[in-house]
Chains A and B, each alone.
Chain A
Amino acid sequence: MNEFCLEIRSANKSFPGVKALDQASFRLRKGSIHALLGENGAGKSTLIKIITGVHKQDSGKLFINGKEETLNNPNDATKFGISVVHQERNLIRRFSVGENLMLNNLPKTPLGLIDYDEITIKSKKWLEMMDLDIDPKTVVSELTVAKMQLCEIAKALSLKAKILLLDEPTSSLSPQESENLFTLLKKIVRDEGVSIVFVSHKLEEVFNICDDVTVLRDGENACTSEDIKNLDRQKLVRLMIGRDEQIVKSARKIKNAKDTILALRNVKTELGHRNIDLELNRSEIIGLYGLVGAGRTELMKCLIGQDKITDGDVIVNGKKVTINSPKTALEKFKIGYISEDRKKEGLILIHNVLDNTSITVWSQIRKAFGFVSDGMIANKVDSYIRQLEVKTPSNYQLISNLSGGNQQKISVAKWLAAGTDILIIDEPTVGIDIKTKAYLHELIIKLADNGTSIILISSDMPEMISLADKILVMKDFQMSGIVENDHDYDAVSSKIMEFIHT
């Protein structure tokens, strides 16, 4: 018997203009949780895609249970008991949650028709196991990103695989949800001998659940299947980014002078929000915290006119206003919204980096007769693409060819370029590596210092506490409390949790 259920030896993979993997190797011990780490674009997802037969390596060997194997397509991988949750969501949006979960083995009635009752019953079991309170009949397109992510994990678990690959499974989850997930993962490793590959940019999680670590840097191994006991956070960071971690501490002084730029008074929305009050001052960063499903994203969508506010007042710069579309929000009131769902609402995957980053500024930079050239665009947005260190062979690369984290950088960059007065930022650092995350935090703080007012939605509690001046806690589409943030993590986080659980 071989101790390793999965091994990759010296895998190479190139895409036009990019060497994604360069002699990359790693070994997965049976019954272990193995962390696969690295910066954005380091090659993690590419490695996962090779193991699951999505991509074929240019050279290098793949061993499953000690035997060399070739995988030609994702089905091959399934046959070997490998199941995966990719970084990008792959649920069929128009199908129900239950149908998606059971897609690979749909229960049939004796007549050969699909047995919908059985789907509901079976999928309910998996949803409950994940502590997910979703009706299996819900259509996937109505779910938030976090819920989709949880559903996809449930789907992967339901396949009862022996090897489970999780590419950033916790990127959109709040700490509570991640914690539930980890309990579950540890259980299936212990009870069923499942082996797991775990990709994440959150190092606390890695130290919490992983046994071994492999780090990739620019497609090469910075360390290979190292026991985690031999590493600490600092060493790991150095392996990943080649230098020490920088921690951004907001040293901002909350201005006392009240200069309210945006206020909501007793607002009701068609999505079910009630009694919403909110006040945002110039240069202020306010945080919206809440569990998945608290209605934070939905509230912001109503604010920018995507959905309707049915009652109450919206006051911008002291004037009562009606915002009926994102276009009005951007052009008339200079309010921008960075969506949490980059694939669906943030980016145009079939267009290139330049077009995506500049979509918000075309109207600003056009000359006579609407003239806009690539040169003018590059002038305007290039600095943002470079500041965020987007890893791309050129500005003309299609977005769909960028790594997940680099896509996320573009969806933020396009709003930085827009230069709005009020910026709503929904989960900005999902899937972004620790180095860029620090940059981005600095950038957000600088933006606020220079007069932009920011509403930050984040499920990442440390991020929230290091950036926000005050934190509004939401629950069930209502405000449940305000916490003044003095950046003392323990005190503030326990206050927040109090509001969530009362």
Chain B
Amino acid sequence: MNKKIPNFIFTNQFGLLCLVLIFIVIFSTVTDGFTSRFNIFALSRVIAIDIMIGLAMMVVILTGGLNLALGAIGVCAAMFGGWCMEVLEIPIIPSILLMLGMGSFLGWINGFITVKTGVHSFIVTLATMSIYFGFMTMLTEAEAFRRLPELFTDFGSAKLFNKYISPLLLVSVATCFVLFYVFRFTDIGRKLIAAGANPEAAELSGISVNRMFIYCHVLSGFLGALAAILLTTRIGAAIPSMAGQLGMDWLLPAFLAPVIGGTLLSGGKLSVFGTMLGAVLVTLLTNGLYLLDVGEFWIRFFLGIILLMAVLLDRTREYFTLRKVIVS
């Protein structure tokens, strides 16, 4: 009766870990400079942000939904923080808290509308993406904030562990551990997962599903803001175009990491460390291909292909989980 969860060897995470190692070996043999101190440091900064973006999307995918406004939320939080620090001269820590608050609030709006209207979050966040981004552009007049406190931007360029690793990565990994703890070892985390897996059954089991869904969106906004904070310290400024038009540059990594990592698109199953490994894999791949000089277009092409494959994998995963029940 008390046998433990299947061996680690058979899990999705193990497969991912192998893939990551294989790519590391390949890229460090075929490219120059993949293992250089400079490249590893640069990688660690990018990975840190991609992990955070992936986690932010993961917690909404958990509900069977999406958050297309993720990038827009991130940029709004960043610009809001830039304004706080540069114009209002609010100290760093309170500013950071305000940014996180802004992200959570925008996430809450997404969740609230989704739950109250019953419209799929795809549509809701498609709309709020434009609204948030539009508002932000209007209020900032598309001007960047470039005179941020030095202490703040120093964090993004600091180097640890013999100058190989950015502290940003530590923030992301720590976030992974916290989220893992929440989903695995707290009642609220378990309720979030249950609500995502079968809302009707969860509701009748005494879980307030609407509230759980709103929590997921708030958490998504919070993590989006956290990603934006990391990005702002990295580039040393808050720029309206930091995540591309409407913040859409974030969407590809946001989907890739969790879906590759084993989070079920229909909701109810997630893997925090899978998402982390997924982000690592994607960033490694992009970086390696850059070093191979294959050109921006091909890199996007490959990432697109990988997303498609990951989605196929998701379908088969779901098929195999449920095949025994849904026959014919």
| Chain B residue at minimum C-beta to C-beta distance from A347 | B201
Contact flag A349-B4 (CB < 8 Å), given A369-B186, A371-B185, A398-B321 = no
A54 touches B327 (CB 8 A): yes
| Chain A residue at minimum C-beta to C-beta distance from B328 | A74
Contact with A along B187-225 (1 / 0, CB 8 A): 111110110011011111111100000000000000000
Tell me, yes or no, whether B9 is within 8 Å of chain A by CB: no
A337 touches B204 (CB 8 A): yes
B206 touches A331 (CB 8 A): yes
A350 touches B264 (CB 8 A): yes
For A418, list chain B residues within 8 Å (CB). Answer: 206
Tell me, yes or no, whether A138 is within 8 Å of chain B by CB: no
CB-CB contacts below 8 Å: A249-285 with B: none
Tell me, yes or no, whether B325 is within 8 Å of chain A by CB: yes
Contact flag A400-B206 (CB < 8 Å), given A348-B198, A351-B197 = no
B201 touches A344 (CB 8 A): yes
For A401, list chain B residues within 8 Å (CB). Answer: 324
| Chain A residue at minimum C-beta to C-beta distance from B264 | A350
| Chain A residue at minimum C-beta to C-beta distance from B327 | A54
For A346, list chain B residues within 8 Å (CB). Answer: 201, 204
Tell me, yes or no, whether B119 is within 8 Å of chain A by CB: no
Tell me, yes or no, whether A188 is within 8 Å of chain B by CB: no
CB distance from B88 to the nearest CB of A (A): 34
For B93, list chain A residues within 8 Å (CB). Answer: none
B186 touches A371 (CB 8 A): yes
Select A348's contact among B1, B5, B268, beta carbons within 8 Å.
B268
Most buried by A among B1, B190, B191, B325: B325
A348 vs B197: C-alpha distance when bound (angstroms): 7
Tell me, yes or no, whether B322 is within 8 Å of chain A by CB: yes
B268 touches A350 (CB 8 A): yes
Contact flag A394-B1 (CB < 8 Å), given A372-B185, A373-B185 = yes
Contact flag A400-B197 (CB < 8 Å), given A326-B204, A326-B206, A362-B191 = no
CB distance from B186 to the nearest CB of A (A): 4
For A90, list chain B residues within 8 Å (CB). Answer: 326-328
A230 vs B264: C-alpha distance when bound (angstroms): 53
B198 touches A349 (CB 8 A): yes
For B327, list chain A residues within 8 Å (CB). Answer: 49, 52, 54, 74, 86, 88, 90
Tell me, yes or no, whether A382 is within 8 Å of chain B by CB: yes
A350 touches B197 (CB 8 A): yes
CB-CB contacts below 8 Å: B160-200 with A: 185-191, 193-194, 197-198, 200
Tell me, yes or no, whether A96 is within 8 Å of chain B by CB: no
B2 touches A394 (CB 8 A): yes
Contact flag A378-B197 (CB < 8 Å), given A349-B325, A362-B191, A401-B324 = no
| Chain B residue at minimum C-beta to C-beta distance from A55 | B324
For B208, list chain A residues within 8 Å (CB). Answer: 325, 327
B190 touches A372 (CB 8 A): yes
A339 touches B204 (CB 8 A): yes
For B193, list chain A residues within 8 Å (CB). Answer: 351
Most buried by A among B3, B193, B205: B205
- Per the CB 8 Å criterion, the residue count for chain A at the interface is 51
B200 touches A345 (CB 8 A): yes
For A339, list chain B residues within 8 Å (CB). Answer: 201, 204
B2 touches A349 (CB 8 A): no
CB-CB contacts below 8 Å: A314-330 with B: 325-327, 329-330
Most buried by B among A329, A366, A414: A366
B194 touches A348 (CB 8 A): yes
| Chain B residue at minimum C-beta to C-beta distance from A378 | B2
Contact flag A400-B324 (CB < 8 Å), given A360-B205, A371-B185 = yes
- Per the CB 8 Å criterion, the residue count for chain B at the interface is 36
Tell me, yes or no, whether A139 is within 8 Å of chain B by CB: no
CB-CB contacts below 8 Å: A3-40 with B: none
For B4, list chain A residues within 8 Å (CB). Answer: 396
For A378, list chain B residues within 8 Å (CB). Answer: 2
CB distance from A51 to the nearest CB of B (A): 12
B205 touches A359 (CB 8 A): yes
For A49, list chain B residues within 8 Å (CB). Answer: 327
B269 touches A350 (CB 8 A): yes
| Chain A residue at minimum C-beta to C-beta distance from B317 | A350
A366 vs B207: C-alpha distance when bound (angstroms): 15
B321 touches A326 (CB 8 A): no
B1 touches A400 (CB 8 A): no
For B321, list chain A residues within 8 Å (CB). Answer: 349-350, 398, 400
Contact flag A345-B204 (CB < 8 Å), given A54-B327, A90-B326, A355-B190 = yes
A351 touches B207 (CB 8 A): no
For A112, list chain B residues within 8 Å (CB). Answer: none
| Chain B residue at minimum C-beta to C-beta distance from A401 | B324
A355 vs B201: C-alpha distance when bound (angstroms): 13
For A110, list chain B residues within 8 Å (CB). Answer: none
| Chain A residue at minimum C-beta to C-beta distance from B4 | A396
| Chain B residue at minimum C-beta to C-beta distance from A335 | B206
Tell me, yes or no, whether A229 is within 8 Å of chain B by CB: no
| Chain A residue at minimum C-beta to C-beta distance from B5 | A396
CB-CB contacts below 8 Å: A405-442 with B: 414, 418
| Chain A residue at minimum C-beta to C-beta distance from B6 | A396
A489 vs B177: C-alpha distance when bound (angstroms): 61
A49 vs B327: C-alpha distance when bound (angstroms): 9
Contact flag A395-B2 (CB < 8 Å), given A306-B204, A339-B204, A350-B321 = yes
A344 touches B200 (CB 8 A): yes
CB-CB contacts below 8 Å: A76-93 with B: 86, 88, 90
Tell me, yes or no, whether A501 is within 8 Å of chain B by CB: no
CB distance from A303 to the nearest CB of B (A): 12
| Chain A residue at minimum C-beta to C-beta distance from B205 | A359
Tell me, yes or no, whether A363 is within 8 Å of chain B by CB: yes
Select B187's contact among A306, A362, A393, beta carbons within 8 Å.
A362
A337 vs B268: C-alpha distance when bound (angstroms): 22
B326 touches A370 (CB 8 A): no
B268 touches A351 (CB 8 A): yes
A327 touches B207 (CB 8 A): yes
A362 touches B190 (CB 8 A): yes
| Chain A residue at minimum C-beta to C-beta distance from B326 | A90
Contact flag A366-B187 (CB < 8 Å), given A306-B203, A337-B204, A349-B322 = yes
B3 touches A396 (CB 8 A): yes
Tell me, yes or no, whether A343 is within 8 Å of chain B by CB: yes
A359 vs B212: C-alpha distance when bound (angstroms): 14
CB-CB contacts below 8 Å: B117-140 with A: none
B3 touches A394 (CB 8 A): yes
Contact with A along B305-328 (1 / 0, CB 8 A): 000000000000000011011111
- Please give the residue numbers on chain B whose beta carbons come within 8 Å of chain A beta carbons, in ascending order: 1-6, 185-191, 193-194, 197-198, 200-208, 264, 268-269, 321-322, 324-328
Closest 10 CB pairs of A and B: A330-B206, A370-B186, A362-B187, A394-B3, A366-B187, A348-B198, A348-B197, A359-B205, A400-B325, A327-B206
- 13 residue pairs from A and B, CB less than 8 Å apart: A304-B204, A327-B208, A337-B204, A343-B325, A344-B201, A347-B198, A348-B202, A348-B268, A349-B321, A350-B269, A370-B189, A394-B3, A400-B321
Given contacts A86-B327, A349-B321, A359-B207, 17 further A-B pairs with CB under 8 A are A74-B327, A306-B204, A326-B203, A327-B208, A330-B206, A344-B201, A345-B200, A345-B201, A350-B321, A351-B193, A355-B194, A362-B191, A370-B187, A386-B1, A394-B3, A396-B5, A418-B206
- Please give the residue numbers on chain A whose beta carbons come within 8 Å of chain B beta carbons, in ascending order: 49, 52, 54, 74, 86, 88, 90, 304, 306, 325-327, 329-331, 336-337, 339, 343-351, 355, 359-360, 362-363, 366, 369-373, 378, 382, 385-386, 393-396, 398, 400-401, 414, 418
